[in-house]
Amino acid sequence: MADTKLKQCSGCGAWKPFIEFPMRKKTGKLEAQCKSCYTKKSQEWYRANTERGKKIARDNYQLNKSRYKNQASQWRQENPERRTEIQRTWRWKERLKVIEAYGGKCMCCGETIPEFLSIDHIN
């Protein structure tokens, strides 16, 4: 069963192709666990160590800030339509939150359809 193109996962014990195993960035070696087991293990660690995980992420961002900013800038330039769609969706969700916080309807006329409501409605 030890085919050269298969590797046994130390998490689930299944024999899987090499492509199913994440590669370590520093050493270039394959992880002992398949991607799904590795992801599950990582999520469990993060849930148990949320504050430490956030600190690691912040520190990593500070060390690589220019790289992150360059990647973000490049993505924005390559995906202007997607960026516009994301912004539009975010603004709509924020608008609905504010409308709900104010009771979800116009106090003057009783209008409840969000498209017709205005946050700064006067008269």
Place of tokens 């500070």: 62
In a domain, 65, yes or no: no
CA separation, residue 61 to residues 33, 47, 50, 64 (Å): 26, 20, 16, 5
Tokens 């689930």 label which residue?
12
Q: What is the pLDDT of residues 60-73, one digit of tens each?
A: 999 999 999 999 99
- Per the DSSP assignment, residues forming a β-bridge with 7 are 16
* 24 within domain boundaries: yes
Please state the domain count of the chain: 2
Which pLDDT belongs to residue 44?
A: 96
End-to-end CA distance of the chain: give it in Å, rounded.
78
Asked whether residue 37 is domain-assigned, the answer is yes
In a domain, 114, yes or no: yes
Task: Let me know if residue 62 belongs to a domain.
Answer: no
Mean pLDDT of the chain: 90
* Domain assignment of residue 74, yes or no: no
Give the domain extent around 112: 80-123
Tens-digit pLDDT profile for residues 21-76 = 999 888 888 899 999 999 999 999 999 999 999 999 999 999 999 999 999 999 99
Does any domain span residue 66?
no
What's the whole-model pTM score?
Answer: 0.54
Please calculate the CA angle 48-50-56 and round it to the nearest 5 degrees.
Answer: 120
CATH at residue 32: 3.30.60
Determine, yes or no, domain membership for 70: no
pLDDT value for 121 = 60
